Amino acid sequence: MFAIIYLLLKSTLNCKFRYNVQYRDLRNCNGANNGARTLVESILVPEVVRAVLDWKNNSGCDDAILIGGLALAYYTKPRYTTDADFLFLSAAQIPNEVCGFKRHRKLAFEHKETGVEIEVLTPRSINMPVEVAQAINNTAVEKDGLKIASREGLIAAKLLRYSLQDRADIEELLKLGPVQMELFHLPQFAQENLNRSTKDK
């Protein structure tokens, strides 16, 4: 009797899981986003999808802005990344605890189920002028219930650091069309980096 109930429950759960799986059209992941690809479809690692959605649902951080590799993946060809970076305008906005996550570093939470790291960054922690961070916030777009830095916002953030990888990322973002950088009040050195990048393009 118990064996029959167990098999019935197992079958039901398996069916439920099977029908809840949402498949993506991988042809949309072979290049830049033409507008048909969602943020979730742009994340290649399923565990990262789960962690980001749990963060969205449990953190209460509606004002946090997704930056870094996942934000870049929304606009360009998706890349393999196993963490997520959120920018907060001030440390006071960062929650002390989030259901389903543990705080394992001062500026990072770990998703208990998958081990995916959510980095919580502030302008001060990444040496970003507050004016630039505010502009990134003001120009962010909303996708799948999350705020994502605009192409210009990502470029502004990368101009401040300007590593070799940042330069390559800026080049990819610039290929997608013209950008308006006037709102970002870039420091002189970042403006020079922008001039260098647009000249190289």
- Domains of the chain, residue spans: 21-150
Which amino acid, 160? L
pLDDT at 18: 34
130 DSSP β-pair partners? none
pTM of the model: 0.85
pLDDT at 164: 95
Q: What is the DSSP string of the chain?
A: -HHHHHHHHHHHHHHHHHHH-----GGGGSSS--S---HHHH---HHHHHHHHHHHHHH--TT-EEEHHHHHHHHSS-----EEEEE-SSGGGS-S--TTEEEEETTEEEETTT--EEEEE-TTTTT--HHHHHHHHHT-EEETTEEE--HHHHHHHHHHH--HHHHHHHHHHHTT-----GGG---HHHHHHHHHHHHH-
pLDDT at 198: 86
**What pairing do the DSSP bridges indicate for beta strands 83-87 and 117-121?**
parallel
> Which long-range CB contacts under 8 A does 106-109 form with residues at least 24 apart?
109/55
Give mean pLDDT in consecutive 10-residue pieces for the chain, a chain of 201 residues.
47 39 70 89 93 95 94 94 96 95 95 97 96 97 95 97 95 95 94 88 58
pLDDT at 7: 44
**CA dist., res. 181 & res. 84, Å (int):** 25
Which amino acid, 52? V
- What are the Cα distances from residue 28, in Å, to 38, 40, 130, 170? 10, 12, 35, 21
145: its two tokens: 């219930």
Which amino acid, 34? N
pLDDT at 34: 87
pLDDT at 3: 53
Half-sphere exposure of 183 (CA within 13 A, CB side): 15
